[in-house]
Chain A
């Protein structure tokens, strides 16, 4: 079953063609990687999938629902969440608050209840806090729950981003360079974490430059170059594909 279907999406910024009729499908429960040289349109693609940028043409379907024109907060509610290449936390909030605020879209009782602080609300607050701790544990940063996010180490901040993503209870997780700037040990741990997410039934798309990570965990790879999809296939296929080698290394003369 396909969870996500991208049908010929095109994105132009003025004269720049960031994406040109890109199409692919993602199987539920799989890990897919998007690779390509800098400026290939990978992050733009993520922006389109999450509703931050509107596509110029084309359609995106998530579980048979068209999400092309939806607002970001509605797309999150349907079950797509993402991280950023350069970490974007709510820096002045505590670690646990970062995760709690991300459960916003999944919680029921409204404003009136939160002002009155009635029992339903208190019970729900308690559940949210417990769940948040669970997510922190899953990401391995439960010890820092009350620390202000800005004071976390780089690796822990990356983990917090993932905890926050899980908190929105997504079915599809988009990770933008999850191992960027990490040392080999941290990279290994991050790969383990991504595998764990897959084990929880999540579908994952990652943008990644580290070929060890890409080849190690993805089942399917899409290669973009200058906004065009130049190849798609298993890690084995991609490794041998002459077009990909050319895009990365240039033509042999």
Chain B
């Protein structure tokens, strides 16, 4: 029972972590809570259904399922990355020098717009994700692991390792860290800030798209409002780990997933969604900077 819940928790936690990364990266660079980020995750799930549906119709799924799935992931990620890119250009960039509340309100506006856009075009009812993998899996000592769970855990881990290497080793990663620490100075050593900000949105949105698709495969159901609750939980994960900190978001996401699934099993599953917010409140009261966050002085 305990190990079973641990596996369930890590599965969900991996997804939270992927979404939380998008929040934390954007916050690190723009000090903006991108409330539209959850909607990108939702779009990722919908795009998955649409693209996979198309592949089924043209017969690619029956020809080669892995190929169809890989293509679905790639295309959905590309679409969502371009959504993220466009949202930044349209809704945040014009407000870069505005008071901090303005882009925040703009973000909420984008979120509401995207939810309604999907509701109008795709309908308000739940959509079923094509049962491509069914619920196949294996059992060891009474612990059941489905292939989808295994896939989610592996994919999350691989993506996070890639991101870590990208941020610490590559030139663009260094530029991102430089911009996060001091935008003006970064521009004065020749870094194009606009490119770095766009890149941040593209990467964050890509990760959210993968998360959305995996959840759609895991639960099998999607509707236009799933981005809201997932977004808020991932935001909690980011705050828990220390917003702005990339390892913090990874750790916070997994921790949140574990707490949720363990408390649902051992305390009560009726309050499953409430645990995340109890944690949020506790973190904000006791350590507002989060587990990995640093308190930083105001710039004078």
A-side interface residues toward B, CB under 8 Å? 50-52, 71-73, 76-77, 81-82, 84, 88-93, 97, 100-102, 104-107, 111, 114-115, 125, 164, 167-168
Contacts and interface: CB of A to CB of B under 8 A. Distances in A.
Interface string B165-206: 010001110110110011011111111110000010000000
Contacts of B193: 73
A200 to B, nearest CB: 19
A100 B174 contact: yes
A50 B193 CA distance: 15
Given A73-B190, A77-B190, A97 B174 contact: yes
Given A104-B175, A115-B166, A52 B181 contact: no
Contacts of A100: 171, 174
* Interface-centre pick from A88, A100, A101 (highest chain B CB count, 10 A): A101
Nearest to B193: A73
Contacts of B175: 101, 104
Nearest to B170: A114
Nearest to B171: A114
B181 A92 contact: yes
A101 B187 CA distance: 11
Contacts of A73: 187-188, 190-193
Judged by DSSP, the binding face of B is helix
Contact of B188 (A50, A91, A115, A125): A50
Nearest to A84: B185
A93 B190 CA distance: 17
For the complex of A and B, the 9 pairs showing the least CB-CB separation, nearest first, are: A105-B190, A72-B187, A102-B189, A76-B190, A114-B170, A88-B185, A101-B174, A90-B181, A101-B178
Contacts of B192: 71, 73
B189 A167 contact: yes
Contact of A90 (B166, B177, B187): B177
A44 to B, nearest CB: 14
Contact of B191 (A91, A92, A104): A104
Contacts of A168: 189-190
Contacts of A90: 177-178, 181-182, 185-186
B170 A104 contact: no
B170 A93 contact: no
A137 to B, nearest CB: 19
A73 B171 CA distance: 16
B189 A101 contact: yes
A84 to B, nearest CB: 8
B236 to A, nearest CB: 25
Contacts of B189: 76, 81, 101-102, 104-105, 164, 167-168
Contacts of A106: 190
Contacts of B170: 114-115
Contacts of A51: 187
B70 to A, nearest CB: 18
A99 to B, nearest CB: 9
Contacts of A93: 174, 177-178, 181
A97 B174 CA distance: 8
B188 A82 contact: yes
A107 B171 contact: yes
A130 to B, nearest CB: 15
A104 B193 CA distance: 12
Contacts of B184: 52, 72, 88
Given A81-B189, A104-B174, 11 more contacts: A71-B192, A72-B187, A84-B185, A90-B177, A91-B181, A93-B174, A100-B171, A101-B186, A104-B191, A106-B190, A164-B189
* Interface-centre pick from B170, B181, B189 (highest chain A CB count, 10 A): B189
A171 to B, nearest CB: 14
11 contacts: A51-B187, A71-B187, A90-B177, A101-B175, A101-B178, A101-B189, A104-B171, A104-B189, A111-B172, A114-B170, A114-B172
A94 to B, nearest CB: 10
A6 B91 CA distance: 37
Contacts of B178: 90, 93, 101
B177 to A, nearest CB: 6
A94 B175 CA distance: 13
B172 A102 contact: no
A235 to B, nearest CB: 29
B188 A105 contact: no
